[in-house]
Amino acid sequence: MKNNEKIEYIDNRELSWLKFNERVLEEADCETTPLLERLKFISIFTTNLDEFFMVRVGTLNDYMKYIPNYSDDKTGMSAKEQLSEIYKNTETLYRLRDYVYEKIDVSLRENNIKFEKMANLNESGIKKVEKYFKRNILPILSPQIIDLWHPFPFIPNKKLHVVVHLENKKNEVIGIIPVPESIDRIVVLDKENGIYLLLEDIILYFAQSIFSMYKFVDSTIMCITRNADIDTDLEIYDDSIDYRQHMKKLIKSRSKLSPVRIEMQKKMKKDFNKYFMEKLGLKSEQFFISDTPLDTTYCFSLENIISEELKQKLTYVPFIPVQTIKKESMIEEVFQRDLLIHYPFESMKPFLSLIKEAANNPKVKAIKMTLYRISKDSTLATYLINAAENGKEVTVLMELRARFDENNNIEWAQKLEEAGCRVIYGMDKFKVHSKICLITYKDENEFKYITQIGTGNYNEKTAKIYTDLSFITSDEEIGVDADKFFKNMAMGNLCGMYKKLWIAPVGFKCNIIKSIEEEIKKCEEGKEGVVIIKCNSFTDKDIIKELIKASEKGVKIILIIRGICCLIPEIIGKTSNIKVISIVGRFLEHSRIYAFGTKEERKIYISSGDMMTRNTEHRVEISCPITSQESKDKIEHILEVIMRDNTKARVLQNSKRYLRLIPKIGEESINSQEMFMKEVYENKEIL
C-alpha cells in the first residue's frame, strides 16, 4: 500500500483512540452508574486526554517539525491532517464533557454536595473563606506580573495557574499565580449543608485583591499541556554512564518540552488569549475553553470527605477480590495442577503467597521475574528482597522506561540492587513489556520449574481494578522456555528459539499470522474457522490484512478491543465476517487472549502484548499456551460471558461509530463484569 493510499476498512489510530475516550465519557453520562463514580469517569476521561496530548499529539507535532513528509501508513494522513482532525474532535469532546459535568453537578446538588463559586456565597460565607485564604493560602502564593522587567515565566506541564488581565494606567499587564499543590484542592465551607469550594476558585476570587495596585480587568484559570514523549533509548551507549542516572535526567526534561495545548476555564478577550498563544508558540486550534474544572482528580478524595451514608449511596458497593485458592503450600499445589487467576474478581494473594513461600523455602534456588509497573509500596518487591537476603539467586529485569512510572521503577531498582538482587534492564529500542516469573526448585538431584505468566503488571493496586489473567504452571517445557528467556535477556539476545512460548519481537507476530492462516485453510477445506482476539488496542497493519483475508475466506472473527481498533468491520466483501466489541465498565479491561479454532479443538494463548506494531515488533512480549482443561474452560467461560454482554458492550459499525447495546424486551440484561463478581462470590466456598 502506498503511503498516501486511503483504505475504507482501516481507521486512523488517533481518531480511533478519541472514540475510545468518548466511550469512557459515556460512562460518566450513564445514570445507572453511581453518581460519584460518574464523576470519576469524567476524571478518567480528562486524564486520558491529557496523556494523549502529551504523548500522541506531542509526537505528531514533532513529526511536523522534523519529518515533514511523514504520513500514517494505514490511512495516508499527514501529521498536519491528523492534528487538524484531532483538534476538531477534541473540541466536540470538550463540549460533551461540559454537558455531562453540568448534569452531574445538578445531581450532586440534589444530594447535598454543592461546589460553589465564590460569587454565589453570602456575605458570611465570603468572610469565612477570606479568613481561611489569608491564614492558609496567601502566605504560600507566588504571584507575579509579566512585563518588560518581569519576563514570561516557565509554566510547568499540567499545573494550574490563575491568570489575570490588569491595567497600569493605559498599559495592559498580565498577572499570574501558580495554584499551590501543597494545599488540599477541596475546601469544606459548610459540611452540614454540603458547601465546598475548589482551591483555584478561591485564588481566582481574591486575585483582584492580590494585584490591588493595578486596575482589574478579568481573570481565569489556565493550564498548559507539554509534549512528554521523551526518547528513552540510548543512541550512543557509554559504559561509564549509569543507566538509572541517564533516565533521571530524561524524566526531568519531560516537564520542559514544548507546549501542545492551552486550556482556560473562561472566555477572555481575544488579545489576552492571543498573547498566551504567541508566548507559548501555539495556534488557535490548540486553545480550548472548558466549563469543567481543568483538573478533576479532586473527585477521588471527595468520597473521604462526605458522610459515610452519602458515600454508600453515591459509590459502587465495595468489591473485595476473593481469594479462591487457600493452600498451606502454593508450591505443592502448583506441582499438582495449573492455576489460572482472574483479576480483579480473584485476589492476587495466592501469587504473592507463592513468592513469599519461595523466598523462604530452602529447596527454591532462584527467582527470576520481569517488572514493568509495580506499586510504590509493593509487597511483591519486599518478598524478592527477602528472598535475596535468604541467599536465593534473585534476578529482576526492571524496565525503567514504563511511561510515567519511570521514577518509581528507578527507586525500586536501586532498593532491589542494594538488597542483593541482580537487576538488569531492557534493551536499547526494545522495552521489555513481558510479565513472567520463574521459580527454580531443586528436589533431591532434580531441578523443577514453576512459571507464572500474566497479561498485566505485578501491581497489587491495579490487580484490584484491571481485568487480567495470571497463569501459574509447573509445565516442564514452559519452564525450560522461561529459563532460556531470562538467559537470553541477560545476554541481549532477542532471537532465542522457544518450544512453547511465543516471544516478540521475533516469535509472536509470525505465530499469530500462522494461526490465522490455519483457520483460513480450514475454511478452504469446507470446515469452520474461528479467530477470537481480546486485547486493548489493535493497530498492526499486517495482522489487520491477514484478518481481512481470513474474513474473505469465511473465517468467523470476533475482536474484543477495549481501545483503539483500526480495523473497520462489516464492510461487504472485505470484513463482513468480523465483529468488533468494546467493553467499558467499572474495571479497566486489560487481559489479552488469543484463541484459534472451534471450541472443540481451540488453542488458547494469553499474552502481555496487544496487536499493535509497537508490541509485535518493537517490544519484548510473551504469549503462553493454556493447555490444562480446567484453565481452558475458565477462559472459554470468560470469553462467552463477554460476548453476551448487552449492557456495557459497544459494537463497532462500518460507519466507524460504536453502537451501545441495549437488552431487548424480554432479554436477560448481562453486565459481564458484574456477572464475574457475582460468580466468584457464589463459588468461593467451593473453590
Helix spans in 29-78 (H): 35-52, 58-66
Sign of CA dihedral 557, 465, 661, 636: positive
d(CA 516, CA 510): 10
Helix (H) or strand (E) holding 93: helix 79-110
Residue type, 60: L
Residue type, 244: R
Strand partners, 628: none
Residue that is written with C-alpha cell 534476578 in the block: 395
Q: Find the catalytic residue in 161, 165, 342, 433.
A: 433
Calculate the alpha carbon distances from 473 to 436, 451, 469, 634 in Å. Answer: 12, 5, 13, 15
Rounded to the nearest 5 degrees, what angle is found at the Cα of 84, between the Cα atoms of 83 and 87? 80
3-state DSSP call for residue 461?
A: coil
3-state DSSP call for residue 392?
A: coil
Residue 533: what are its φ and ψ, rounded to 5°? -125, 125
d(CA 474, CA 226): 47
Q: How many CB atoms lie within 10 A of CB 272?
A: 19
Grid coordinates standing for 301?
478524595
Q: For residue 511, how far is the Cα from the chain centroid?
A: 27
d(CA 64, CA 368): 43
3-state DSSP call for residue 432?
A: strand
Q: How many CB atoms lie within 10 A of CB 168?
A: 13
DSSP secondary structure string, 107-129? HHHHTT-EE--GGGS-HHHHHHH
Class of residue 303 by CB neighbours under 10 A (exposed 0-12, middle 13-18, buried 19+): middle
d(CA 53, CA 47): 10
d(CA 218, CA 23): 36
> Do residues 502 and 605 touch, judged by C-beta distance below 8 A?
yes
Active site residue 165: no
Return the HEC string of 263-307.
EECCCCCHHHHHHHHHHHCCCHHHEEECCCCCCCCCHHHHCCCCC
Active site residues: 433
